[in-house]
Amino acid sequence: MGISNQRFLPEHEDPSSSEFTQLAAQVSQQVRPNRLTGDSSDDSIVVYYESKFDVPIPQQTTVDQAIESLEPPAENEWSQQGQGLTFFNVFSERKFFDIHVRDPGFVHSPGFPDYAYPPNLNLQWRLRADPGNRVWLNFYNLILEDDCQHDFIKVYDSLAPIEKRALTEQCGHPQKSLSFISGNVMLLTLVTNEEKNFPGFKASYYQIPVTKLNCGGTLTEDKGSFSSPFFPSNYPPSTSCVWNIEVAKEKFVKVDFKKFFVGNQSEHCPHDYVDINGERLCGNGLNTRLITIKSNKVTITFNSDSSYVDQGFTAEYEAFIPTDSCPGRFQCNNSLCISKISQCDGWNDCGDNSDEINCTCDASQIQCKNGHCKPKSWLCDGIDDCGDNTDEQNCTCPGKFKCSNNRCIKKTLQCNGRDDCGDNSDELNCTSVCSAFTFHCSNGLCISKLNPECDGEQDCEDGSDEANCDCGTNLYSSTRIVGGQAASVGEWPWQVSLHFKGLGHMCGASVLSDRWLLTAAHCVQDTKVYKLSHADQWEAFLGLHVQNQTNEWTVKRGVKQIIAHRYYNSYTQNNDIALMELDTRVSLTEYIRPICLPSSTYYFHSDQEAWITGWGTTMEDGVAASVLQMAEILIFSSRLCNLLLFYRVTDNMLCAGFLSGGVDTCQGDSGGPLSVANSHGRFFLAGVTSWGKGCALSYRPGVYTRVTKYRSWIKEKSGV
């Protein structure tokens, strides 16, 4: 609703000012809303009103049904407001925060980043910019429950939650652009239900002048680029830009959309779109990236409507002479131009394969029946590289093992417990073949099944694969969803907090038995000031949940001896592992339980989910957490990790994290477990938190001591 005959005054933003009261009284006379709040778009005033109904509980279902049966709202906001009724959890009270974004600042969910957000939230941040400015909101972190029906944030180009002005709804751990630009005001809402709470979000806000939009224009150069406003941030709502490209008369124009995310794909593109000479494009990606215009002039319009924004597009255009559209380059059938050396190199550079047909193959290539050339090393690799399977026929595999799918693999890969063929044919008929990769049963026989320990099935004749399996379980059988959060009591019963007398929590450790803990060697190295290698200076807290809060199941023990690996290297961090023997045994309970130790042949594969836990800092150089934190991360291939960490990762180390960073262990988590669940939900100790390049940086996974490498060392030193 707008008030057209009034001029906006800054005082109108303040509901306690006399100007606001006076204007509100005037408006109330006409509409009698029970809540009024205003913004200063342009020079006039926009007023939001909401109707609130108290419905007795027995009648709530009837009201919900009645609302659902309403006709879809017509194209005006009055009826849209009615829809708002069903959005908010009736059990949680709504809380508002009013922020002026003239001075840049941050908003975050309650408790972020130290604690998970509380349940049943209904929070609204109302962000206002100065007249003539837009609000810009930029999320640094956003980790909510995956199901948007349960927990979500929503951003509006408005001060009230009007669906027609919603810019985005997000939940989970989105990887898209999370930078939003609205008009003069913005509303950010956070709604959570009572279960599964996650870390939440942190976002920065500031204002930018409306004049910064600066989109569209006339382009007359032979080559150039243009993109949607603020790309790669999401474009603002209700925006229109027009580019007029006009090149020399004898030339045509090609436009190559490098990135294209413009709303949902729908017929006629009624909402957000790019229009090229009257033809509308929308959706996520395009069928044909390259658009050729048989004219020297083209008008390209970008339009966004009032709701649901997207990242937008970036495009390059080029003028060409119609008789030679790729000067000096190869022209694909789809009109793309590629470098001539990419022609007939085995790779589909054009996207339509047209650079790989009618090729004359050289000596290093195989000739496919369909005319393609592919590198010889792709022969008989189990993948149909030719497209007509020529490269996978007549594979005799001299000196190699021939898989059922015709792939040839090295003979040594046969019966190694891993599916190297891709169809598992290299792992059939392999009983009792002992190798570095097979599980050794106590009776001396070997089985080739991958990770047979404690998987609920007896694989060894003597049952030794299912012996010593009272480990790695907790009260919670569920493995949770991605994102760091506070753990529940008893969720990680093998997690130990190691306190150095006078300094408090220093490192984590894992319970191996009622007497032995495993930690990192770097935690127990003397410094100039502290004798960290002295057992009598340490205290181990088992069954601990919150630092400095013990309860009836928390156990404190002194340390009898520390056995750090004798080849621990403080320079390279190689062999970063140490055992601690408690001064007296502990009783194993629901809250104190050992984690399973993997045998030396246990295989943790890359991209496998793993859990990190600890009371370490929740950001680099931050403060330590007081509630035990947990997060799910992924194991990296050692090859990739070595590339990322400057070849400092030895075979005794294992990397885990995300390429994008954001979730990681940090100072104070060292010595703690990297826990991986097997197919039966039983947790195995894959790693001991060891080192990293900073914390949670992108392309810098955390590094863990690879426990499988120390299985016999642990047995020798502790008997476990």
- Among candidate residues 182, 233, 513, 670, the one labeled active-site is 670
Site string for ligand 4AZ, 78-117 (x = CB under 6 A): ----------------------------------------
Q: Closer to ligand 4AZ by CB, 494 or 691: give it.
A: 691
> Is 576 part of the annotated catalytic residue set?
yes
Is 133 a binder of ligand 4AZ (CB under 6 A)? no
- Asked if 620 contacts 692 with a C-beta cutoff of 8 angstroms, the reply is no
Q: How far apart are CA 173 and CA 96, in angstroms?
A: 25
Confirm or deny that 246 is annotated as ligand binding: no
| By CB under 6 A, residue 665 contacts ligand 4AZ | yes
Binding of ligand 4AZ at residue 692 (CB under 6 A)?
yes
Is 345 part of any known ligand binding site?
no
On whether 423 is known to bind a ligand per the annotation, the reply is no
Nearest to ligand 4AZ of 127, 518 (CB atom) = 518
- For the CB of residue 532, give the shortest distance to ligand 4AZ in the complex, in Å: 13
Closest CB to ligand 4AZ: residue number = 692
Number of helices and strands (H, E) in the chain?
5, 43
Residue 669 binding ligand 4AZ, by CB under 6 A: yes
Exposed e or buried b for every residue in 632-670, given b needs 16+ CB within 10 A? bbbbbebeebbebbeeebbebbbbbbbeeebbbbbbbbb
Q: How far is the CB of 237 from ligand 4AZ (least distance, A)?
A: 39
Separation CA 639–CA 641 (nearest Å): 5
Residues 596, 469: contact at Cβ < 8 Å?
A: yes
Letters for 645-664 (x = contact with ligand 4AZ by CB under 6 A, - = none) are -------------------x
Q: Kindly write down the DSSP assignment for every residue of 605-619, as one continuous string.
A: PTT-EEEEEESSBSS
Q: Which of residues 113 and 692 has its CB atom nearest to ligand 4AZ in the complex?
A: 692
Give Rg (Cα) of the chain.
32
Q: Are 577 and 710 in contact (CB under 8 A)?
A: yes
Residue 365 burial by Cβ neighbours in a 10 Å radius (0-12, 13-18, 19+): buried
Q: Per CB under 6 A, which region of 67-75, 181-189, 575-583, 687-695 contacts ligand 4AZ?
A: 687-695
Q: Is 212 helix (H, G, I), strand (E, B) or coil?
A: helix
Which residues, 6 or more positions from 410, have their beta carbon under 8 angstroms from its beta carbon? Answer: 400, 401
Toward ligand 4AZ, which CB reaches closer, 37 or 665? 665
Closest to 168 in 3D by CA, of 155, 180, 185, 187: 155
Residue among 702, 705, 706, 710 that touches ligand 4AZ (CB under 6 A)? 702
Compute the distance between CA of residue 690 and CA of residue 519 in angstroms, rounded to an integer.
9
- Is 197 marked within a binding site? yes
Q: Which part of the chain contacts ligand 4AZ (CB under 6 A), choosing from 63-71, 218-226, 455-463, 689-697?
A: 689-697
Report CA-CA distances (Å) from 713 to 434, 508, 564, 690, 707: 21, 20, 11, 18, 10
Q: Which is nearer to ligand 4AZ, 117 or 658 (CB)?
A: 658
Q: Binders of ligand 4AZ: how many residues, by CB under 6 A? A: 11
User: Cα(100)–Cα(125) distance, rounded to whole angstroms?
Assistant: 10
Residue from 317, 691, 710, 713 touching ligand 4AZ (CB under 6 A): that is 691
Helix (H), strand (E) at residue 639:
helix 638-644
Nearer to ligand 4AZ, 188 or 655 (CB): 655
Rounded CA separation 308/235 (Å) = 10
Annotated binding residue at 151?
A: yes
Q: Among 190, 219, 666, 674, which residue sits at the site for ligand 4AZ (rule: CB under 6 A)?
A: 666
What is the nearest approach in angstroms of ligand 4AZ to the Cβ of residue 630? 15
Does 673 contact ligand 4AZ by CB under 6 A?
no
Which residue is catalytic, options 522, 565, 669, 690? 522
Q: How far apart (Å, rounded) are the C-alpha atoms in residues 65 and 470?
A: 52
Smallest distance, ligand 4AZ to C-beta of residue 574, A: 16
Is residue 689 within the footprint of ligand 4AZ (CB under 6 A)? yes
Strand, coil or helix: 22: helix
Q: How far apart are CA 341 and CA 338, in angstroms?
A: 8
Residues paired with 557 in a beta bridge: 540
Report phi then psi at 285, rounded to 5.
85, 165
Residue 189 in the binding site for ligand 4AZ (CB under 6 A): no
Told to check if 670 binds ligand 4AZ by CB under 6 A, we report yes
Shortest Cβ distance from residue 182 to ligand 4AZ (Å)? 36
Say if residue 307 carries a ligand binding annotation: yes
Among 631, 695, 707, 714, binds ligand 4AZ (CB under 6 A): 695
Q: Out of 39, 310, 391, 576, which one is annotated catalytic? A: 576
Binding-site sequence positions for Ca(2+)? 145, 151, 194, 197, 272, 305, 307
Binding site for ligand 4AZ (CB under 6 A): 664-667, 669-670, 689, 691-692, 695, 702
Catalytic residues: 522, 576, 670
